[in-house]
Amino acid sequence: MPENAKKNELLYRVYVVLFVFVALAAVIAWKIIDISVVEGEYWKNKREERYMEWRPVPTLRGNIYADDAQSLLATSVEFFEIRMDPVSPRESEFYEQVDGLAKALAQYPGRRSAREWRDLLVSARKACIKGQKGCNRNILIARDVDQSGLEKLLSYPLFKLEKVAKYRGGFKKIKSFKRKKPFESLAARTVGEYRDANMVGLENSYDTVLKGEEKEALMQRFPGGLYVPVYDPTDFEIIKGRDIVTTINVPLQDIVHNELYKSVQEHNAEGAVAVLMEVKTGRIKAMSNLSRSKNGSIGEYHNYAFADRSEPGSTIKAASVLALLEDGFADENTLVDFNYGKKKFWDLWMKDSGSHGLKTGTLQMALEKSSNVGIASVMQEKYAANPEMYYDRMMQFGFDGPTGLDLEGEGAPYIKHPTRDKKIWYGTTIPWMAHGYELSMTPLQVLNFYNAVANDGKLMKPQLVQAIIYNEEVEQEFKPIVKRKSIASRDNINRLQRMLKGVVDNGTARSLRSDRYEFAGKTGTTKVGYSKADEEAKYNASFAGYWPADNPEYSMIVVVYGLKGAKYYGNVVAGPVFKRIMDWTFAIEGEELMRDEQVIASGDVRGYDGEIYGFDPDFDRVFDDLDVGYVGSGRWVRGGNDPEGDVRAGKAKITVDAVPDLSGMGARDAIYVLENLGMDVKLEGVGKVSRQSISPGKNIDNQVITLYLN
């Protein structure tokens, strides 16, 4: 073969091989482009669909109960996210029922029309079977579906095949829990908020108690970061967290909240706080924190009661008087300088709020009339040379640190020290501190002092939680805690108690007196922002006290913030709120408690009107204490004495759809029953229900019912 021919043949073979390589390279390049660009989303989804990992499953958070261990303040409600795998159903069943399912889905979530639902399900199924773009084996059907909604969806075509075999209809449910407050705004800030970050209230303080033990499940990842359990999540046992029983009493909380709300509205205030505490135990029975949002709505947005300090004003005069008594500098009859209600301390003038025309008066008169000049004069005279004595007494009275309330965020009171704070200690500091300025504390810290006075000097730790429950058993019980056996001598505590009663009988709170019971306390009015002369003056009105005066059961503080105009004094704004709450509690508990005490003292159960009507556990406890035989059947019972002198009570007729007959029931129980039936309640009188404005048996339709007590 000629040399040229061999050369040409070799070149030909080279070109053929090169062409094959170029062709293969082109095919490979096209396939790469096809996979990464044209079918990129499809293969990405397939990769994600095959990715699995162990991830935490939802836990059932424990409940937060009111003091009766039955009324729910916060609970976890079960919800589901519903999705569908359109490939799982058999072909014949899918096409036979997909039209019916589409029509049903168009009615339920309302997000798509029946045609749109059908097109979505059919196209997704076809794409998955053919391995094309658009394959989706995890189609979102609905979110936040409750149990009734779940049952409704399982009655739809295709989905009802789940009852035949799991996943037969392509139905997928993903369980989750949402936190709900059945009483909504009541004690909302105290109960708190459960969320991923910045939790507040009891939800935050008791988070480790409330949250259940976390478990893990094998999850399959889908596009968009969605994880779905490989197995039905209902197959996993959800470990429930522990429940907590608070000290909050729902009827009392409702009263406090509503009366405070009305005051904020009436006086166009910026906000208000009220805290109601049991004197002997320190347990908080109600705590309401109201403020205005930017749009003017009133709600619980911040817990001012224990988290925000402010100058307390004249309510602190009781502490100043107790310091004088403890140091032996004065007693209630000591004459002090009123100087006609105006006096200059160093370079500042001090005035009393009203004209009294007195040059001198007793220390008791100074407290009763809330004379700034009278209190400041005697405090300056006695403590100017040794201000540490006054500071030490304030520490002794419980202002040496936080109260220890079981919520996070409480700060210590701010009280100047004459040495450590000498740069801001002025000649006017003692007289101004004496009547509630140049020091700051929370409403709860002021209340805890008054509670100690009511409790014969015993300083209690305020409590919001009384028990932790696990598996319906009390796992831990929190007994009342005494922080200090006495903040002062018994004699001086008794003197101050009489003086605070005098404030109500003869002083600034005289307009709040009641003919039915006696109470003690102190009014307060604080000017805020007083250093800003170019701004309109604003005031905080307050009242702190306790009742009944002789054997106190409750202590309370009311503070109304940001008042403008002519009505801002404590006895005009905060005092009436205090009085109305007392009236309500006395109507609910006072007469009945007095009557029960008379029955217990006499031992004559037959004197109990021959009838009992109310909450079975209460009767069981009372008659057990009396050593009287008692048999009750039901949660709410009605009955009386039998011939042998024992008490028998049968189940009372109370249903969810009809107004019950409440004649003979105590006011507290009646309010509880009616409000749980969705009715608003008004009371007239005190004692037990004698008649009601809506006849028994009428249908319940969110009415307002008036109960007439006798």
pLDDT tens-place string over residues 654-674: 887 788 888 888 877 888 788
Q: Which residue has the tokens 């405070």?
A: 260
Q: In this model, does residue 329 exceed pLDDT 90?
A: yes
How confident is the model over 163-192, as a mean pLDDT?
Answer: 86
pLDDT above 90 coverage of the chain, percent: 51
- What pLDDT, in 10s, does the model give residues 241-299? 899 999 999 999 999 999 999 999 999 999 999 999 999 999 999 999 999 988 889 99
- 263: part of which helix (H) or strand (E)? helix 250-267
Written as six digits, the tokens of 180 are: 């709900």
d(CA 196, CA 194): 7
Asked whether the CA dihedral 693, 699, 704, 705 is positive or negative, the reply is positive
Q: How many CB atoms lie within 10 A of CB 296?
A: 7
Tokens of 507: 């002083």
Sequence-distant (6+) residues with CB within 8 A of 261 are 290, 298
Number of neighbouring beta carbons within 10 Å of residue 700: 17
Mean pLDDT for the stretch of residues 354-380: 94
Looking at residue 235, its amino acid is: D
Q: Fill in the amino acid letter for 50.
A: R
Using a 10 angstrom Cβ sphere, with 0-12 exposed, 13-18 middle and 19 or more buried, the burial of residue 631 is middle
Q: Does the pLDDT of residue 301 top 60, yes or no? A: yes
Mean pLDDT, the chain, as a whole number?
85
Print the SS3 string covering 346-366. Answer: CCEEEECCCCCCCCEEEHHHH
Element at 454 (helix H, strand E) = helix 443-454
- Residue 642 CB coordination number (10 Å): 11
H helices present in 3-155, as ranges: 3-33, 40-49, 91-107, 114-130, 147-153
**What pLDDT is recorded for position 677?**
77
Phi then psi dihedrals of residue 625, to 5 deg: -65, -35
Examine the pLDDT at 587 and tell me if it is beyond 80: no
> How many degrees, rounded to 5, is the angle at CA 179 between CA 174 and CA 184?
145
Which of 411, 444, 441, 447 has the alpha carbon at shortest distance from 309? Answer: 441
Place of tokens 């640190």: 401
* Contact (CB, 8 A) for 642 and 630: no
**Which tens digits make up the pLDDT trace of 501-537?**
999 999 999 999 988 889 999 999 999 876 566 567 8
Which helix (H) or strand (E) covers residue 631, if one does? strand 630-632
- Distance (Å, whole) CA 460 – CA 555: 12
> How buried is residue 280: exposed, middle or buried, by Cβ count under 10 Å (0-12/13-18/19+)?
middle
Query: Does 41 score more than 70 pLDDT?
Result: no
Q: What is the distance between the alpha carbons of residues 511 and 513, in angstroms, rounded to a whole number?
A: 6
Query: Which contacts qualify for 605-609: CB closer than 8 Å, 24 or more apart?
Result: 605/641, 605/645, 605/647, 606/641, 606/645, 608/640, 608/641, 609/664
pTM here? 0.75
- Residue 326 · residue 295 · CB < 8 Å: no
pLDDT digits (tens, 9 = 90+) for 172-181: 888 888 888 8
What residue type is assigned to position 348 of the chain? L
The 10 Å CB-count burial string (b at 16+, else e) for 121-133 is bbebbebbeeeee
pLDDT band at 609 (very low <50, low <70, confident <90, very high): very low
DSSP 415: E
Distance of CA 204 to CAs 131, 144, 201, 252, 662, Å?
A: 49, 24, 5, 24, 40
State the Cα–Cα distance between residues 136 and 120, nearest whole angstrom: 9
CA 246, 247, 249, 253 torsion: positive or negative?
negative
> Of the segments 268-282, 630-644, 675-689, which one has the largest average pLDDT value?
268-282
CB 329 within 8 A of CB 465: no
Q: How many CB atoms lie within 10 A of CB 214?
A: 10
Give buried/exposed letters for 386-423 (b at 16+ CB in 10 A, else e).
ebeebbbbbebbbbeebbebbbeebeebebbebeeeee
> CA dist 247 to 86, 411, 467, 491, 657, Å?
52, 22, 9, 32, 30
Q: Is 42 exposed, middle or buried (0-12, 13-18, 19+ CB in 10 A)?
A: middle
Copy the structure tokens of residue 545: 């006290």
- Is a pLDDT exceeding 60 seen at residue 621? yes
Least confident of 143-152, 454-463, 572-581, 615-624: 615-624
Distance CA 305, CA 440 (A): 13
| Cα distances (Å, whole numbers) of residue 296 to 193, 391, 541 | 22, 41, 20
Q: Which has more confidence, 48 or 106?
A: 106
Higher-pLDDT residue of 70, 19: 70
Q: In 3-state terms, what secondary structure has residue 637?
A: strand
Q: Rounded CA gap, 320 and 500, in Å?
A: 13
Give pLDDT tens digits for 388-425.
Answer: 999 999 999 999 999 999 998 898 999 999 999 999 99
